[in-house]
Structure 1
Amino acid sequence: MYIFIGITYFLFLLYAAVMLMYRHWFIKLSPFEPKAIHIPNTSFSIIIPARNEADNIGLLLQSIINQNYPANLWEVIVIDDFSTDATAQIVGEMGNTFPNIHLIELAKQPQVGKLNAYKKKAIETGIGIAKNNWIMTTDADCVVGKEWLSTYDAYIQENNPVFVGGPVAFTNDGSVLQTFQCIDFMALQGITAAAASTGTHSMSNGANLAYKKETFIAVDGFKGIDDIASGDDMLLMNKIKQAFPKKMGYVFSAKAIVYTAPMQTLNSFLNQRIRWASKTNKYKEASVIVVLWMVLLLNISLVLMPFLSVFFPPMLGFWLLLMILKTWVEASFAVHIAAFFSIPLHWKDSLLQVPHILYTSLAGCFGILGKYQWKDRKVQ
C-alpha cells in the first residue's frame, strides 16, 4: 500500500509542478490590445458545421451579422450535417436576407457515405468553396461578440501568423451541473492560453479558431486524422505547428471570447468529455501525451484511495491531504483565469473536487476505448 501511496504522491508532485508552471505563464500574459489606428483588412470565411441546431444557429448568425466589421470582408458558410430539424431552413431564410451567408447541405454533396468524422468532412467541404484566405471556425451553438472579427484582424495584421486560437467560455445558469462544467472548462482554457503564450500550443478549441486556407492545404488538411471523429481543432493544430512552428498565435483578449452553452444533461456532458479524451493517443508530441497520462493516472489513483482505505485505514488521511493540496494548487490558478473571463468563484466550488476526479477518470478511460454517443450517432 505504501508503494501505491508513494506513486500517487509522486504523480501529484509532477501535476502540481505543471499546474504552477501554467499559472506562472498565465499571470505573465497581457491582454492583446489593437493599435489605436486600425484599418480592417483581413477577409474571413467563417465555417460552421451544424447538426440539429435549429434552436441555436439563428442566434449565432445574428451575432456575426452584428459584427463591428465590414460586411464585404466576411462570409459565412454553414454546412448542414444531415440535420433532421429546421436548421437548414433557418440558414436558408437568413441567407435570402444576407447574401454573405451560404448554406451547404452535406447530404447533397457527392461521395458522402457513412463516415466516422462528419464534422471534419463538413469543415473540409466548407473550406473547399471558401473564397477568402482566412478560415474561421466556430460551433453552431455559440455566440460571438461584436469585436470578434475586428480583434482577430488586428492580431493577424500585427503578428502575421498562419494559425490563431482564441478563448472560449461556457455560459452558466447557476445549476450545479453547469457551474461544474463552467469551472472545469475555464481551467482548460487557462491552460490553453498559458501554453500558447510560450509557443507550445498544447490545446485549442474549434469553437474559436482561425487559420489560412493555404496553410490548411499545405498540411494536407485532415489527411491522416480524417478517420478520427474528434480532433478537428487540436490534431489539426498539431499538424500546422509541426510545419509552421514560428507562425502560431493566440488572441488573449476578452473581445475575442466565444460563448457557448454547456451540456444540459449529465449523460451529454460525459459523452462530450469522452469525445475530447478520445484524442489522447493520437497526439504526436511526447510532452502532451505524458501530461495527459499523468493527469489521468493521478485522478484514477485518487478515486481508488478511499476504497483501498477499507483495507488500509491510514490511506484515508493521505487521500484527504492530497485532495486539499490539489484543490489549493488548482484554486491558486483558477482565480486568475476567472478574473480574465469574469467568472465568479465561491469557496463552495471546492466541493466539486470529488466529482471532478471521478469524471476525469471515467472520461479518460472511456476515451481511450474511443466509443461514445454524440449528436445521435454512435462513434468509434
Structure 2
Amino acid sequence: MIGWAEVIQNIVYFISLYYVVFWLLVLLDSEDQKIRRIKKYPTVSIVIPAYNEEDNIVETINSVVNLDYPKDKIKLIVVDDGSKDKTYERAKAFIDDIKSKHSYIDVLLLTQKNHGKYYAMNHSLKYVDTDFFATMDADSIPNKDALKNVIASFVSDDIAAVSSVLKVYKPKTTIQIVQWFEYSVNHFYKSLIANVNSIHVLPGPLSVYRTKIIKEINGFREAYKTEDMEIVLRIQQKHYKIIQCNTAFVYTKAPAKIKELYTQRHRWNFGTFKNLIKYRSMMLNKKYGDFGLFQLPIILISGILGITILGLILYTSWKTAKPTFKMLQLYNYNIIEYLNHSTFNMILLDIDLKSIVTFIGFFAISILVIWLSLRLYKEKYTWKRSISFALFLFFYYLFLAVVWLGVFKDVMMRKEAKWKK
C-alpha cells in the first residue's frame, strides 16, 4: 500500500520533471544574443539611491562616471535617503570634485528624509527628461561597457526594460562563493524566461527602463520593500516586453555571513509572496501568456515545493534512522559491535531504487545547468571553490526552504517587511 509520504514524493517528482522539461524545451528553442552596435546614442539618467552607504558611494559614482558612454548623454542623479552616516557628505565632496574637473558632466545630488528606495526613485523621476531611466544600487559597480550593451538591447519600441547580469564582487567567504554560483544559475534561468517574456523581477544594479513607460505607469511603489518586482508586474500588465542583456555585467557586494544572507533572502521572498497575492488576478490568466500561466504560479509553487522537499528529507531520514537507533540500543550504543552484526544485504534491502534513479537524473541536470551558466557568463571554476559548489548543489535550496518557512510564518503573524542596513 502506498503511504502518504510516497504520494507527496510522486507529486514533487511530477512537478519538478514538468518544470525541467518545459525549460529544456525553451533552451533548445532559444538563440544566442548578438552583440549590437548603437548607431545613435540616446540620453540616459542613471539614478543611485543610497542609504548608509558611506563605504561604497564614492566607488559607485566613480564607476558610473567612467562608463564607456558619451558623457553628454548621461545625467547622474544621486539620492541620499536620509542616511545616518556620512553618505551625503562623501557623495557631495566627490561630486563637487567631479564638477570642478569635468564641468560637462551632468551630476545632481538630492537628499530627502528616510522614506525608502521607491520614494527616492520617484523623487529623482521629477528631474528626469532623458530617453531612458537607469537604476544603480549604491554598492554596485558596472563594467565599462555595461550601459552601452544594455541600451543596444532596446531593439523594438515594445521593450520596456532591460536588465544586466549581476556578479558577486570579489567573493571571499564560503557564503559569498555559494552566491557566486547562485547568481550565474539565476541569470541563466532569466535568459531562458526572457524568451517567453516571463521575467518577473529587475535587479537594482543597472536595470534600464524607457522613461515614458515608467512615467506612464506612475513610477515606483513601496511594494513591501521589493519595488523592483512590483514595477515589473505592472509592466507585464501593460503587455510590454522585458529582456536581459547577457553581455552587460554589474558587480554587487553579496552578504558574507549566513545571518546576513537569510535576512536579505527573507526580505526578497516576503516581498515576492505579498506581491503575488496583490497581483493574484494575473496568476493562471491566459491574458498574460506564459508569464501568467506558468511563471507566476511556479514562483509560488517553488517555495511550497522547497518546504515539502525539506519535510520529506527530514521524515525519510527519521524513518530510516529510527530502526538503526533501536538496534543500537540493543548493542548498548556500541557502533563497532553493531556494524559487525550488520550485513551488506540488509543495507541493500533499504535502498529505494526509484529515489536513487531520480536523484541521479536531477543531479546530472543540475551539473549541466551550472556548467552552461558559468560558460555563458564567462566565469571560471576552480577547485578551491569545491566546498562552496557542494554546499550550493546539495544544501543551498534547502536553506531557501527554511527562508520560505520564515516567510510563511511572518505572513500568518501579519508582520511587515523591514529593511536592515
Residues 309 and 43 of structure 1: CA distance in aligned 2, closer, same or farther (over 3 Å): same
Distance 2:241 2:229 in 1: 13
Per-residue Cα deviation, 1:131-188 (whole angstroms, up to 9, x for no partner)? 31311012111101111222223222x3332222222222343431111111122222
Distance in 2 between residues matched to 1:317 and 1:271, nearest whole Å: 38
TM-score, length-normalised on structure 1?
0.85
Q: Which residue in 1 is equivalent to 2:403?
A: 363
Of the structure 1 ranges 22-31 and 140-149, higher mean CA displacement relative to structure 2 is found in 22-31
User: Is contact 2:168-2:253 (8 Å) kept?
Assistant: yes
Deviation at 1:318, TM superposition (A): 6.8
Q: Per chain length, whose mean CA-contact separation is higher, i.e. which structure has more relative contact order (CA < 8 Å, sep 6+)? A: 1
Cross-structure match for 1:103: 109
Say what the alpha-carbon RMSD is for the aligned residues.
Answer: 2.6
Corresponding residue to 1:259 among 248, 251, 257:
251
Gaps of 5+ in 2: 100-104, 284-293, 321-349
C-alpha separation in 2, matches of 1:198 and 1:177: 32
CA contact (8 A) 2:54 2:86 kept: yes
The change in CA–CA distance for 1:129 and 1:301 in structure 2 (over 3 A counts) is same
CA distance in 2, matches of 1:316, 1:57: 55
Distance 1:153 1:233, change over 3 A: same
Query: Rg: which structure is higher?
Result: 2
Distance of aligned partners of 1:295 and 1:321 in 2 relative to their CA distance in 1, 3 Å threshold: farther
Alpha-carbon distance in structure 1 between the residues aligned to 2:254 and 2:373:
18
CA contact (8 A) 1:169 1:341 kept: no
1:322 CA displacement: 5.1
> Does the Cα contact within 8 Å between 1:29 and 1:194 map onto a contact in 2?
no
% same residue? 16
Answer whether contact 1:81 1:105 (CA < 8 A) is retained: yes
Structure-2 separation of matches of 1:19 and 1:171: 30
Q: Quick check: which one's helix share is greater?
A: 2
Which 10-residue stretch deviates more, 208-217 or 284-293? 284-293
**Which residues in structure 2 correspond to 1:15-94 (within 5 Å)?**
15-26=16-27, 28-35=30-37, 38-94=38-94
Report the counterpart of residue 329 of structure 2 in structure 1. Answer: none
Match of 1:330 among 337, 347, 366: 366
Match of residue 217 from structure 1:
215
- CA offset at residue 46 of structure 1? 0.7
Whole-Å separation in 2 of the counterparts to 1:274 and 1:119: 18
Unaligned runs of 5+ in 1: none
2:309 and 2:354 map into 1 onto residues whose CA distance is: 10
Q: Which amino acid aligns with 2:34?
A: F
**2:286 alignment partner in structure 1:** none
In structure 2, the CA distance between the partners of 1:91 and 1:351, relative to structure 1 (3 Å rule), is closer
Looking at structure 2, the residues matched to 172 and 20 of structure 1 have their Cα atoms a distance apart, in angstroms, of 35
Of 50-59 and 20-29, more deviation after overlay is shown by 20-29
2:161 to 145, 148, 163: 163
Deviates more, 1:22-31 or 1:267-276: 22-31
